[in-house]
Amino acid sequence: MKDVKSEIRNPKSENDPRFTIYSDGGSRGNPGPAACGVVIFNGDKEIKRLNKTIGNTTNNQAEYQALEMGLNWIKLNCYADIALCDEGSKISCKLDSELVVKQLNGEYKIKNVELKPWFAKIRNLVIELGGGVTFSHIRREQNKIADMLVNEALDREQA
């Protein structure tokens, strides 16, 4: 893949995010063997696919870890571009976990003690990225690539 930094494009308008992260996490069993999948876009251009296994954990923990993986990749590879963005949405995160989205948006309390550290990690990453990160729920059908990456990682681990 070409150097990502040389291909970063400006959003079409001030309301368009610079980057869009589609993330998914899943476990076979709950808890069970788990993995994360992430697809990152700059505008309408796909710039990165990531996946990895994460040991035995729950679906919800895997969802948080997938989001962390995507945000960390942007932080490590595109931070200079993010820092130059004007106010507004810099990164749009799209997840098929309604629970995680509502927790991150402050609509649901985090009752599960094991999710609290993951919530804190995401919030800290948002601060490190200078804000401008949004979280929205999408239907599973709209997250097919990230879901495929989760299953690919789990299948690779079990082979």
Residue in this structure with the two tokens 């942007």, named with its chain if needed: 74
Other Cβ atoms closer than 10 A to 4:
16
pLDDT in tens, 89-105: 689 999 999 999 999 99
| Residue count (the chain) | 159
Helix, strand, coil percentages for the chain (3-state, nearest 5) = 45, 25, 30
| Most confident by average pLDDT, 3-7, 13-17, 118-122 | 118-122
Where does residue 86 rank: exposed (0-12), middle (13-18), buried (19+ CB within 10 A)?
exposed
pLDDT in tens, 104-142: 999 999 999 999 999 999 999 999 988 899 999 999 999
Under the banding of pLDDT at 50, 70 and 90, the label for residue 2 is very low
pLDDT in tens, 33-86: 999 999 999 989 999 999 999 999 999 999 999 999 999 999 999 877 766 665
Any idea of the CA torsion for 77, 39, 45, 93, to the nearest 10 degrees? Answer: -80
Under the banding of pLDDT at 50, 70 and 90, the label for residue 87 is low
Q: Which sequence spans correspond to the domains of the chain?
A: 4-158
More confident residue, 13 or 143: 143
Instruction: Tell the CATH topology of 4-158.
Output: Nucleotidyltransferase; domain 5 (3.30.420)
